[in-house]
Amino acid sequence: MLAQGVISMPRAVYFSLPILIGLTVFMAVSETPGILRDWTINQNPVVLDSGDIRDGKCSTQKGFFTGCSAHLNYAYKGQNYNKDVEIMFVDIHAGDYETDLVISADHPELATLSLGLEKLWNRIITLAVFVALLGGACIAMIFQLLRLWRVRGQLRQPAQLVPVPVEITTFQRKGKRLMVTYADKVADRRTGRAAHTRFEPGQEPLLVGEKGGKAVGLAVWHGNAALPVLLDQRLERIDMTADERASTLAPLADELGGHPPELIAQRKKGPSILARLARFLLVILLIIGGVLGYWLWYVTSASSQFTSPAMDLNNMMPAPLNRWGCDQLKKRFGDQRAPFGCVASDYTSWK
């Protein structure tokens, strides 16, 4: 039999799981009603010129996520309405947003900002990505916890032990304790499953070699358990007598020449400073090339002058490039309202 508690989970998982679940629920509950409202409005929208937009403001977090809110006051067919609207989307923007008050002709009690309709698919994709990432992380953590608890239950029962080499992927010393993460990546019939274990003061993992710059430890499969158990150098994790431990360790010590491998962080020589600088400059050039290419496509070929974040890119261009870009847009959309970055002081006509 094996000792209890030899398979563990980082404590951060127990703290982060409730936080991730809370964030997932908060994102879904806070954003889904607004998206459903604007989806309904978008089926039959009516722009109200007489509507009043109060306390409208947008704030950008880390230059990427934008949240806007406003209080809407309007009258439609003799009925007065007051609504509070909040929307969140991903955008790269500098400056103010121009927006109108829009309601649903079928459900006039539903009102929003035209900005919310323009960014509707942006908001849907943003919410879907957030919920998928956060929810996926929650499911993965829950699965790991359930597998851990199942393995712990199996280890309480006697079963045949089958030795297997495992790769030590990471380790960290916390005080006198050693936290080790290992994976079944060495054996012929490897599963690739990773597990965590904690060694008490004075204990060290039983290392038998090295492969690909990673230390290799000796573990055992306990019956049909889903995870192998990493052994310690003195085999104290296995229920056996002192003589049995000595007879088991003797041939292993002879094989290793009396000097078992040490758990030392492997350091690989990285690229030179010039190579790193060249890679960095190449990435910068690729980003600049991609931005310029996207901007050229927008001003010369885009099917709409209201394309985000291309409008913002055009607005941030140096004056000569911005003027040239607006001229190209005006050739195709001159009979329509000017987009952001090309508007005159009246926020409507072309500059």
pLDDT value at position 143? Answer: 92
Higher per-residue pLDDT: 130 or 4: 130
Domain coordinates of the chain in residue numbers? 11-129, 160-255, 281-333
What are the DSSP calls for 99-112, one per residue?
Answer: --EEEESS-TT-EE
Q: What average pLDDT is seen over the chain?
A: 85
Q: What is the pLDDT of residues 143-155, one digit of tens each?
A: 989 999 999 888 8
Exposure of 318 in the CB half-sphere (CA atoms within 13 A): 3
Q: What is the pLDDT of residues 115-139, one digit of tens each?
A: 899 889 989 998 999 999 999 999 9
The token pair at 129 is 């990505």
pLDDT value at position 288? Answer: 87
| Residue 164 in this model has a pLDDT that exceeds 60 | yes
What average pLDDT does the segment 284-297 reach? Answer: 89
| Residue 273 in this model has a pLDDT that exceeds 80 | no
pLDDT value at position 269? Answer: 46
Q: What is the pLDDT of residues 213-272, one digit of tens each?
A: 788 888 998 888 889 999 988 888 888 888 888 887 777 776 666 555 555 544 444 566
β-bridge partners, 232 = 205
Q: What is the pLDDT of residues 75-86, one digit of tens each?
A: 988 899 999 999
Q: Which of 207, 206, 263, 266 is nearest to 236 (CA)?
A: 206
pLDDT value at position 38? Answer: 93
Percentage of the chain beyond pLDDT 90 is 26
- Where would I find the H helices in 11-88? 11-43
Higher per-residue pLDDT: 112 or 239: 112
pTM above 0.75, yes or no: no
Query: At 196, which amino acid appears?
Result: H
What average pLDDT does the segment 207-218 reach? Answer: 84
Query: At 233, which amino acid appears?
Result: Q
Whether residue 18 is preceded by a cis peptide bond, meaning omega within 30 degrees of 0, is no
What average pLDDT does the segment 67-73 reach? Answer: 90
* Burial readout 205-232 (b: 16 or more C-beta within 10 A, e: otherwise): bbbbeeeeebbbbbbbbbeebebbbbbb
Angle, helices 120-155/11-43, rounded to nearest 10 degrees: 150
pLDDT value at position 190? Answer: 77
What average pLDDT does the segment 297-318 reach? Answer: 83
Q: What is the pLDDT of residues 167-200, one digit of tens each?
A: 998 888 887 888 889 998 887 777 888 899 998 8
pLDDT value at position 266? Answer: 43
Q: Which of 301, 345, 351, 295 is nearest to 323 (CA)?
A: 351
pLDDT value at position 338? Answer: 86
Which burial class, exposed, middle or buried, applies to 65 when counting CB atoms under 10 A from its CB (0-12, 13-18, 19+)?
middle
Per-residue pLDDT band at 64 (split at 50, 70, 90): low
Alpha carbon distance 151, 147 (integer Å): 6
Query: At 32, which amino acid appears?
Result: T
